[in-house]
Amino acid sequence: MEPVRIPPFETFYEEHKDPVFAHLRRLLGQGAEDAFQETFLRALRGYPELRNGRHLRAWVFTIATRVAIDETRRRRPMASPWLHELAVEDGLPPHAELGHLTDNLPPKERAAVVLRYGFDLPYDEIAAALGSSEDAARQATSSGVRRLRERSKRS
């Protein structure tokens, strides 16, 4: 397939800022503002290296997810009360403690498991976040869970 031209950053930003912010709100609740700015600053830094405009949504969702995971890790001591708040606000299950239980999984499986069971994201959004197909997102999630089960049997 022909590579798709990279649009001017303004166009890219206007098209994705609201969905990316919504994604970050689901992942982080009230702290999403700083993560939003960090996500698009990282996108700006990487923008000149992009060679294809085809998967920009998946690309920026992956950046946002990484920023959110960094942010969650940074404030892990506060995770519980803050997640409780989020759970009340959005009706999400407060399972993001999954974050550190999954520390030893391969990165893609880890992200898939955390997004699925920590943040209750549907598979299409996980796929967008990982830059992969929905099938691949399902697969990464289930093999991550399998790995966790095996590990807990052993210990």
Partner 1 sequence: MTNVSAELDSRFRAAAAEEGLLDVAYDVVDSPLGELFVGISDRGLCVISYEADPDAQVERLARGFGSRVLRSTRPVDPARRQLDEYFEGKRKRFDLDVDLRLARDFGRTVLEELGRVPFGEVTTYGELAARAGKPRAARAVGTIMNRNPVPIVLPCHRVVGANGSLVGYAGGLERKHQLLRLEGALLA
- Tell me the closest approach of the beta carbon of residue 19 to partner 1, in angstroms: 7
CB closer to partner 1, 30 vs 104? 30
116: contact with partner 1 by CB under 8 A = no
| Residue 12 C-alpha from the chain's centroid | 19
CB 118 within 8 A of CB 99: yes
Residue corresponding to tokens 């990464």 = 140
Q: Among residues 3, 4, 7, 122, which is the contact residue for partner 1, using CB under 8 A? A: 7
Q: How far apart are CA 47 and CA 123, in angstroms?
A: 27
Amino acid identity at 65: T
Residue 131 binding partner 1, by CB under 8 A: no
Q: Which is nearer to partner 1, 8 or 91 (CB)?
A: 8
Nearer to partner 1, 45 or 151 (CB): 45
Determine if 122 is a binding residue for partner 1 (CB under 8 A): no
Could you give the string, one character per residue 41-80, with x where binding to partner 1 holds by CB under 8 A and - elsewhere? x--xx-xx--------------------------------
What secondary structure does DSSP assign to 106-134, as a single string?
-HHHHHHHIIIIIS---HHHHHHHHTS-H
CB atoms within 10 A of CB 149: 10
